[in-house]
Structure formats: C-alpha cells, structure tokens
Chains A and B, each alone.
Chain A
Amino acid sequence: MSAARRAPPWRRRLLGRQNQNLWFWVFVGPFFAGLVLFIYVPIAWSAYLSFFEAYNTVSPTRMVGFANYTDMLGDPNFRSSLTTFLVFAAFIVPTTFALSLATAVLVARTRVAQAFFRSVFFLPTACSYVVAALIWKMSIFSGVRSGLANTVLGWFGAESVPWLSVTNPPWYWLVIVSARLWLQVGFYMILFLAGLQRIGPHLYEAAAIDGATGWKAFRHITFPLLRPTSTAVLLLLLINAFQAFDEFFNILSSFGTYPPYARPPLVYLYYTALGQGQDFGHGSAGAIILTAVIAVIAVAFNRLFVREAD
C-alpha cells in the first residue's frame, strides 16, 4: 500500500486495483484452494470413477459407461438403503423438531431453575455418537438381564427383550432413534430458545388482552414468528439424517460385520467402497446418486419452505 501512495496518480490507481485483486486472493485463496482440492476435485474424480471398473485402484482403464449406475439402481441392497434413510428421516426429523420445540417452550417459560434445565438438556451435545452408542448398546438396551431396559421390564414381571438381535418386531429402531434424540434435542432446543427470545413480550401482552393465551398464543404468535428458526432447524435435521452413520455403525455392527437390515446409504457405501472389495467404481456411482437425491430434496425443501416464507 505504501508503494501505491508514493507512486504517481495513474500508477497508484492501477496498483491499487491490482492490489485489491491480489489481496482478495491472499485472504480467500487458502480456503478456496482447500475447498477445490478436498471437495470439488474429489467430486469430479468420483464422477469420473463412476464410469469405470475400479476395484482396488483409483486409476482404472476399463470404461463401463453407465453400468455402475444401473448396477447400483438395480441393487436391492442399495435401494433398500435409500428406503431405510427415507423411513428414518420421516420419523426422526419431525420428532426431533417437535421435542426440541416443546422443551424450548417449556424451558423459556420457566423462571426457577431455568439454567439448570437448559444445561441438562444441552449436556448430551458434549457426547459423541460413539459414546452414546456404547451406553445404549452395552448398558440401556443390552439384551441380557443386567441392561437397564430389561431390568425395568423385569420390575413389571415382563420377559427380557433381545433389543438388537431380533428383526420382528424391529426393536433396533427404538435403540437407534432414542440415541439420536438424546444427542440432538438439546442442541436444537438452544436454537429454538434463541428464536423465542427474539419475539417481543409486548406481542404476548397484546394477545393476552384479546384473550389469546396458552395454545392460541403459541399457534398464532410463537409458531409463525419462529418461522426462520424452524426452517433452519428442519434443514439441519434433514442434512444430519442423510449423514446418519455413526450410531448405526456402532450400535449394529459387531466384529467387522453388519447385519443385512437397517443399512442407511452411508453405511452401505462404506462397505461397498472401503470394505474388502474396495469397489470404487460402484461406490462412486452410489455417491453421485446420493448427491443427486440430496439436491432434489434440497430444491423441493427450498420450494416448500423458503419461497413460501418470502
């Protein structure tokens, strides 16, 4: 900059403008280079690999056209992994949303011990999915008598349930879903609490004068005004549901094997691409199909929730 100041005016202007471009890349360059190298290049490479037969190699020579795609779409296991995701998302997204909102509303209206309740619900955010899976699998829902769930059943004279080793009824869903709820509800509650704080108390006072309190006030004031928060929370929950891997892997797999049911897409891809076969061709095709599905859902979500709000 000092060089620019000493230079004659025409040069200063030129230098100044050049400097601006230069400085933009000094600031943004490192991040952008990393973004390209670790996100965009892998996606492009993946798209390339998806048209090749690539077992154990990333520089394949045999092109197979769309065969990997048709294989994946024709593979009942891959299709069932997509169904698994849809069922899982259809349950976990609205449930987490409702529970987080309910806790936020209850905590916000509490005067005594508010900080305590907030802390307790938020604390699980400190836990990883691995730790939660461990507690759920080995202590709460362990199939033996010493597990908490079976102990409680025992108090009522009921038989022990092998929570993770039966598929009919599919009790493992209860295990997986409750673990995720415990981990997530507190975080989204905090986001809702922040949203609730932005709603001015005078609105409720005015509504109370008109006779709207309780559920009516929630329905006509709280919920509509929480819209930006609600939209963001829904989107984050959806993205998180799509990435479900940790708890499925840790709760259901044992000694390197995974049961044939309850495989969300990432678990399926993990075993396809990084398992014994190292099948990068099919794994990449699956990743591209998943990306496409996410893009479609994101666009639909945008149409449904974001546009409407404007």
Chain B
Amino acid sequence: MAVVDRSRGARLGALARYTALGVAAALFLVPFYLLFRNALMTEAELTSPTWHLLPSWRWENFTLLFSDPAVPMARSLLNSLAIAITQTLGVLVVSGLAGYGLARIPYRWSNLVFYAVTASLLIPAAVTFVPSFVLVSSLGWVSTLRGLIIPGLFQALATFLFRQFYLGFPKEIEEAAFIDGLGYWGTFWRVVVPNSGGFAAAIATITFIGSWNAFLWPLVIAQDSEAWTVQIALSTFLTAQSVDLAELFVAAVVAILPLLLMFLFLQRWIVEGVERTGIAGD
C-alpha cells in the first residue's frame, strides 16, 4: 500500500515538475517567437490592434533592410564580425600566454603582477569607461576599429581563468619537453597549446559572445556610422524619432542569427565550455 502511495506521489511530483518546466519554457520562447513573427510582418500587421498568430511571411523585409541606404546594416555586420573575431583570437593569445607565464614561470614579482590582475577584476570594466574614453580619444582612436578592438584585448578574467587552468595542467608533459631542449616558448607552443584545445574553445566562445553583444564601449567609441557595430545600429534605430518597425525587427533577427545558429548547433559544447571554465567556484 505504502509503495503504491509513494509511486503515486512521485508521479504527481513529476507531473507538477513537468508542468512548471513546460510553462516556463513556453514563456522563455515567447520573445523569440515574437521576434521572428514580427520580422516577417507588414507594417500594417505590426500596428494592427487585432492579434496575428502568424505573420504574412513577408520575406522581402530582408531585401528591403539591406537595400535601404539610410541603414548601414551590411557595414555594421562586417564591423561586428571583424571585431568579434580579432578580439577572440587576440584574447586567446594574450591571455593564454599571460596565464601560462603566471602559472609556470618562477619570477620574484610574479605574485605582485597576479595581484594587479585580480584587483582589476574587482573594478567593473564599465566604471572605467569615462577615463578609458578620455585615453582612447587622446590617442585619436575614436570611430576606428583600433579603438573598438584593442582595449578589449586585455581581459583580466580570461587571464585569471587561463592561469587556473595551467596550474592544473599535468607537469610531467612539460618536464619531458624541457628535457628535450624546448625552452618555455617551445614547450608552450608545441606541447601545452595542442593540449589546451577544449579549454581555449570555452574561453573563445565566451569572448566571442561578449564581443558580439557588447554595447557600452562601442556606443562610446563608434560615433560615426561607418564604425557602428550591429548592436549600435540596432540601438540607433530603436531610439530614433520615427521607427520603421518591420525593418527594426528584421535587423534584430539579422543581429542575433549568427549567435543563435552557433547556440543551436554547438549548444552542448558551449554549455560544457561554460561549466569547464570553472567561473563558478571550483
């Protein structure tokens, strides 16, 4: 009798759990549904007070967006892509090297340098945006790709995580390489780097997402429309005086499509990456 009761209770519990998850999942998908529906609607449908469950599948919205001379969408996409790719590769090299150096090369002031890295973690990067803007503008980098890319290459968090990762890297492999006469440089590139693929991929993913979605820094630096990133282009339309709604939603779809596809196809790998970096307490 008790066994039956418990299994009925368990079944009810499972039912409640699935209902809760199902409702939450539906709510989480609503914004995506709205985004794609609106992107394929006409202006009239978008402003009509009656609810349209499905759009009229107006695919021309996409060609209209890219042929609108007032909207530098193609240029913004190229900028975003260039920035995200260079920043990702740059962070991998710069932080990978620094993390390895901090973890493995004995040096008298090593700890002091490491404190400087961790202390800067506590200062939210956004708080320094005023002085950083002052610096970058005095270098003459406003509205240039340099100004958008270079300050983002020095990520204390990535360096910190790389250091943690290399501290746990099996030392025997490196010692063997050292005995074979490879110095720090050779050991790093020929032995350590080929064995840190998974971890580097995780850092790369996080950096790419952060770079693609960055807003405050590009807003401050990209003042000419030629230097706009996708996010700035979107934000400019969103806060403009008159908004072409259909174009706005198509632009938003174009802006999230690269990351969305990445998430759908590489989902498992990205999730493992986030877990693997050990951001949350290991």
Q: Which 10 A-B pairs have the closest CB atoms?
A: A27-B101, A228-B281, A42-B131, A34-B154, A46-B131, A31-B98, A128-B213, A145-B49, A194-B275, A191-B280
User: A23-B184, A135-B35 given as contacts; is B213 within 8 A of A129 (CB)?
Assistant: yes
Name 17 interchain pairs, CB-CB below 8 A, sorted by A. Answer: A28-B97, A39-B154, A58-B134, A110-B17, A122-B263, A124-B31, A128-B256, A130-B235, A138-B248, A139-B249, A140-B31, A146-B46, A187-B274, A245-B215, A256-B239, A274-B130, A290-B127
Distance from A163 Cβ to chain B, minimum over Cβ atoms (Å): 15
Q: Decide if the interface of chain B is mainly helix, strand, loop or mixed.
A: helix
Residues of B within 8 A of A136 (CB): 31
Point out the residues of chain A lying under 8 angstroms from B188, CB to CB.
27
When the two chains form their complex, are residues A273 and B130 in contact, meaning their CB atoms are under 8 A apart? yes
Establish whether residues B215 and A243, one from each chain, have CB atoms under 8 Å apart when the complex forms: no
Q: A164 at the A/B interface (Cβ < 8 Å)?
A: no
The reply to whether the CB of B282 lies closer than 8 angstroms to some CB of chain A is yes
Is the interface on chain A under 10, 10 to 19, 20 to 34, or 35 or more residues?
35 or more
Main secondary structure on A side of the interface with B: helix
Q: A96 to B223, alpha carbons, bound, how many Å?
A: 34
B184 vs chain A, min Cβ distance (A): 4
Residues in B with CB closer than 8 Å to A5 are 181
| A28 lies within 8 A of B101 (CB) | yes
Residues of A within 8 A of B209 (CB): 125-126
CA distance A273 to B135 in the complex (A): 13
Q: How many residues of B contact A (CB 8 A)?
A: 97
**A-binding residues in B (CB < 8 A):** 17-18, 20-21, 24-25, 28-32, 34-35, 38, 46-49, 51, 94-95, 97-98, 100-102, 105-108, 110, 113, 116-117, 120, 122-135, 137-138, 150-151, 153-154, 156, 159, 181-185, 188, 209, 212-213, 215-216, 219-220, 231, 234-235, 238-241, 243, 245, 248-249, 252, 255-256, 259-260, 262-263, 267-268, 271, 274-275, 279-282
A45 interfacial contact with B, CB 8 Å: yes
A83 within 8 A of B: no
Q: Given the known inter-chain contacts A122-B267, A229-B280, please indicate yes or no for A133 contacting B238, CB distance below 8 A.
A: yes
Whether B248 and A266, one on each chain, are in contact in the complex, defined by CB atoms closer than 8 angstroms, is: no
Residues of B contacting A254 with CB < 8 Å? 239, 241
